[in-house]
Amino acid sequence: MSPSSAFHGTTAAASEQYPASSMIQETGTNNEAYSSGVSWAAVVGGAFVAAALSLILLALGTGLGLSSVSPWANVGVSASAIGWVILIQVIASSMGGYLAGRLRTKWTNIHTDEVYFRDTAHGFWVWALGLVITVYFLASAATTMVGRQNLSGPVGFGEDWPKPTGSG
């Protein structure tokens, strides 16, 4: 028995009796993945990075006076504030999407166009998740502020708490 035939589990007699082409088993190739194409850990990580960077840039813009809003009635919001908020969202979403694309699971044997598509899809998932989280927190804060305006006394006290009277 030759070393190569021992390694493959065939004997010299078997290889002479059956041609090599009949010994190859045909297996169906399955191109479907065993897991999802979306790496949710990367998406959530990218969304948190986008939210944190957005908060940092908003604080920076406030410090530099770029996102200031006039307290006077009928003055409105300045064009620089609107531009700064848009720039913040573009930068933060781009960074979060880039991170999600880089942190996702590496796919092998996939065409380059498909890899670009999946990276882009991860970026959109980051943007969408970040938007949903932001809307949730803003709605929660707005609900809390509106709810406190309707209270006549301090928060957490019952009806028997004395209500403020008169001015001054």
pLDDT value for 75: 76
What is the predicted pLDDT for the residue at 166? 65
Pick the closest to residue 31 from 118, 138, 87, 110 (CA basis): 110
Of the candidates 67, 71, 62, the one whose C-alpha atom is nearest the C-alpha of residue 81 is: 67
Domain membership flag for residue 4: no
Which domain range does residue 52 map to? 40-69+76-107+114-146
Q: Tell me which residue of 123, 103, 119, 100 sits closest to 111, measured CA to CA.
A: 119
pLDDT in tens, 62-96: 888 887 777 777 777 778 888 998 999 899 999 99
Q: Which residues of the chain have pLDDT under 70?
A: 1-35, 148-164, 166-168
49 within some domain = yes
Number of domains forming the structure of the chain: 1
Q: Is residue 16 part of a domain?
A: no
Checking phi first, is residue 138 left (phi over 0); if not, alpha (psi -120 to 50) or beta? alpha
| HSE-CB for 52 with a 13 A CA cutoff | 8
Per-residue confidence (pLDDT) for residue 109, from 0 to 100: 81
What pLDDT score does 44 carry? 93
Asked whether the whole model's pTM tops 0.85, one would answer no
Q: Is residue 54 part of a domain?
A: yes
For the beta carbon of residue 124, count every other beta carbon within 10 angstroms: 13
Q: What is the mean pLDDT of the chain?
A: 75
Residue 152 in any domain: the answer is no
Closest by Cα among 83, 88, 79 to 58: 88
In a domain, 57, yes or no: yes
- Quote the tokens at residue 154: 């301090």
Identify whether 133 is part of a domain. Answer: yes
Residue 19 lies in a domain: no
Helix (H, G, I), strand (E, B) or coil at 25: coil
- pLDDT of amino acid 130: 85
